[in-house]
Amino acid sequence: MTTSHLIDPEGPRAGVRPVPEVQQAHRRLDRKAAGPVRQTQYTRGALTAYLWALGRGQVSPVTGGRSDGAPDLAALTAEADAAQAQLEDFTQRTVPRDYVHGVLDALAWVCGHSDTRP
């Protein structure tokens, strides 16, 4: 199930984070990884996860599930769980490990499971 960003008195959210905070995290990482030589699979995964969490991607970054608009917290958490499962069992991995790790770290932060932002 997807919904537009959760609305609360503090404004729209992506996961548990305010949308502007997620947008800022994406911009910072994008600047840091600017250029093809500096961008790694990890940063590609994190950037893709941020965009998906903001509703700018129609396909989830690990499972490839389709969505219209921003995913809700349950969908974000499910995608983080799928990323964790792929990291733990290489036979389930369909994309590079570092990419999956970037997705997991970004979604863990967006969902409030981690205070460390990629």
Q: How much is the pLDDT for 1? A: 41
Is this model's pTM higher than 0.95 or not? no
Q: How many helices and strands (H and E) does the chain possess?
A: 4, 3
- What average pLDDT score do residues 4-9 get? 52
Q: pLDDT tens for residues 54-72?
A: 999 889 999 999 988 999 9
Backbone region of residue 72 per phi and psi (left: phi > 0; alpha: psi in -120 to 50; beta: other values): beta
pLDDT for 81-111, tens place per residue? 999 999 998 887 778 999 999 999 999 999 9
Angle between helices 19-32 and 97-110 (to 10 degrees): 150
Domain segments of the chain as ranges: 12-110
Strand boundaries in the chain, DSSP class E: 6-8, 11-14, 17-18
pLDDT band at 47, cuts 50/70/90?
very high
- Is the pLDDT at 79 greater than 90? The verdict is yes
How confident is the model at residue 9, as a pLDDT? Answer: 65
Position 11 scores a pLDDT of 84
Q: 68 burial class (0-12, 13-18, 19+ CB within 10 angstroms)?
A: exposed
